[in-house]
Amino acid sequence: MKETPINRQSFVEGADDSLFSLDNLPYGVFYRGSDSVPHIGTAIGSYVLDLTVLEQHGYLSVQGEKSVFNQKSLNHFASLGSSVWSKVRQQLQYLLSVDVTTLQHEKGLLSEVLISQSEVTMLLPFHIQGFTDFYASEYHATNVGRLFRPHDAPLLPNWKHLPVGYNGRASTVFVSGTPIPWPSGLIKASPDSSPIFSASRKLDFEMELGFFVGTGNPDGQPINVAAASEHIFGCVLLNDWSARDIQAFEYQPLGPFLAKSFGTSISPWVVPYEALAPAMKPLPQQLPRPADYLYQETSRQPDILCRVEIQPAGSNVRTILCETRAPYLYWSMEQMLAHHTVNHCIMKPGDLLGTGTISGPLQTTWGSLLELSMNGQQPIQLKDGGERTFLQVGDSIIMTGFCNIAGRQIGFSSVEGTLLSP
């Protein structure tokens, strides 16, 4: 296999100037048209390259494996390890290069494998058996602590010693575009009142980065923080919908339960960790020094700009609610994965980990309505003339993200969700 040039150009029209250039090549699972058989593909420009069909015709191969992409999910591919991911990525960059005529001259095959994204229905990229949500932004944790515990220290004593997290519900992780049910639970209308069972009155979004485990640790041995990046297959944008009034009553001492288990939305295209590696940026210095199993000389996150917009029910006008960046996080993805496995917890291919809400130092960079509206005390003015403190029935939240690498944008597909009535 020839190496692709460093300054890659694709023969696919519009790909080079898109969020899905040869420097990206995210993976996803889709239906084509009315077909109900899932295929695996990669996004290139405004098209999907069908890897299932490409493999069947012998143009894509993995040594020792007969059927990597004739699968219902990315789990098998992800289980093969980082060296295989890299080799497949090189094959795709080669085949899609403007200087390589292999596919370009096969007009019949090309029409079969190169499909407009408008003609496909995206599915969950993985069969997700486990979902863990962390709480890795110091700015967010501080803001929430001040709102929920105004008379105590905003950060609990353990927060800077370990990545705080909880086990969420994999069964309610939905692909972008899936409507989100309105949750109910026990809430307290005032501090002195008795709890009542009610539909949530403080429904919120959380702007997060999600990342999928590749090889995992089937033997249960801890994943060393120095090797953790080899176990991370790729990243998506993640919205962990949250019912703040249910959360406020139930979260002590064990954390959120009904407040978050009703729905988590993710973007459909998984951006390879390898594609994001050139965009890595150091995180703030971690003090006190983490325990040895968590210590990294330089902790990093990809410098992804994340934007959240709201489209209110009945309106065609969107309002930007916040713009934040992944390096505002305190803990790295590698530290989260190392912490998760240090007690011999088994991680499987396709397990999903969320970073927790990404918030920065300025109010415009806060990644939730809980923070932006100061728990409902400061309404947010919308472009269509309305206002919000928390979400309402029929509201849609749209999250997008990208990073810049050598003058090119590496993008994520959007993650969108609309709230159903209780």
Percent of the chain whose pLDDT exceeds 90: 93
Q: Which of 181, 142, 102, 229 is nearest to 420 (CA)?
A: 181
Distance CA 191, CA 283 (A): 38
Q: Would you place residue 2 in the very low, low, confident or very high pLDDT band (cuts 50, 70, 90)?
A: very low
Q: Would you place residue 218 in the very low, low, confident or very high pLDDT band (cuts 50, 70, 90)?
A: very high
In this structure, are strands 264-266 and 232-240 parallel, antiparallel, or unpaired? antiparallel
Q: Would you place residue 6 in the very low, low, confident or very high pLDDT band (cuts 50, 70, 90)?
A: very low
Catalytic residue (one of 76, 140, 339, 340): 140
Would you state the pLDDT for residue 252? 84
pLDDT digits (tens, 9 = 90+) for 43-61: 999 999 999 999 999 999 9
Tokens of 355: 């970073």
Q: Which of 412, 278, 233 is nearest to 6 (CA)?
A: 278
Would you state the pLDDT for residue 407? 86
Name the residue with tokens 């990404």: 358
Burial class (CB in 10 A: 0-12, 13-18, 19+), 240: buried
Q: Is 127 assigned a catalytic role?
A: no
Q: What is the mean pLDDT of the chain?
A: 96
Residues of the chain with CATH 2.30.30.230: 27-123
Distance CA 168, CA 172 (A): 9
Q: Which CATH class is domain 131-418?
A: alpha beta
Do the Cβ atoms of 204 and 242 come closer than 8 Å?
yes
Mean of pLDDT values over 107-119: 96
Do the Cβ atoms of 402 and 305 come closer than 8 Å?
yes
Q: Above 70 in pLDDT, residue 5? A: no
Would you state the pLDDT for residue 191? 85
Distance CA 54, CA 57 (A): 5
Q: Would you place residue 124 in the very low, low, confident or very high pLDDT band (cuts 50, 70, 90)?
A: very high
pLDDT digits (tens, 9 = 90+) for 128-181: 999 999 999 999 999 999 998 898 999 999 999 999 999 999 999 999 999 999
Residue 277 identity (one-letter amino acid): A
Q: Would you place residue 1 in the very low, low, confident or very high pLDDT band (cuts 50, 70, 90)?
A: very low
Would you state the pLDDT for residue 140? 98
Q: Would you place residue 294 in the very low, low, confident or very high pLDDT band (cuts 50, 70, 90)?
A: very high
Q: What is the pTM of this model?
A: 0.96
Neighbours of 207 (CB within 10 A): 31
pLDDT digits (tens, 9 = 90+) for 245-286: 999 999 888 889 999 999 999 999 999 999 999 999 999 999
* Residues facing 203 on adjacent strands: 243
Q: Would you place residue 3 in the very low, low, confident or very high pLDDT band (cuts 50, 70, 90)?
A: very low
Output 3 or 62, whichever has higher pLDDT: 62
Mean of pLDDT values over 366-370: 98
Q: Which of 398, 418, 373 is nearest to 202 (CA)?
A: 373
Q: Which residues are CB-neighbours of 253 under 8 A, at least 6 positions away?
A: none
Q: Which residues are CB-neighbours of 218 under 8 A, at least 6 positions away?
A: 346, 348
Tell me, letter by letter, the H, E, C secondary structure of the chain: CCCCCCCCCECCCCCCCCCCCCCCCCEEEEEECCCCCCEEEEEECCEEEEHHHHHHCCCCCECCECCCCCCCCCHHHHHCCHHHHHHHHHHHHHHCECCCCCCCCCHHHHHHHEEEHHHEEEECCCCCCCEEEECCCHHHHHHHHHHHCCCCCCCCCCCCCCCCEEECCHHHEEECCCCECCCEEEECCCCCCCCEEEECCCEECCEEEEEEECCCCCCCCCCCCCCHHHHEEEEEEEEECEEHHHHHHHCCCCCCCCCCCCCEEECCCEEEHHHHHHHEEECCCCCCCCCCCCCCCCCEEECCEEEEEEECCCCCCCEEEEEEEHHHCCCCHHHHHHHHHCCCCCCCCCCEEECCCCCCCCHHHCCCHHHHCCCCCCCEECCCCCEECCCCCCCEEEEEEEEEECCEEEEEEEEEEEECCC
Q: Which residues are CB-neighbours of 2 under 8 A, at least 6 positions away?
A: 94, 100
pLDDT digits (tens, 9 = 90+) for 300-329: 999 999 999 999 999 999 999 999 999 999
Would you state the pLDDT for residue 33? 86
Q: Would you place residue 81 in the very low, low, confident or very high pLDDT band (cuts 50, 70, 90)?
A: very high
Residues of the chain with CATH 3.90.850.10: 131-418
Homologous superfamily in CATH for domain 27-123: Fumarylacetoacetase, N-terminal domain (2.30.30.230)
Mean of pLDDT values over 87-92: 97
Would you state the pLDDT for residue 190? 86
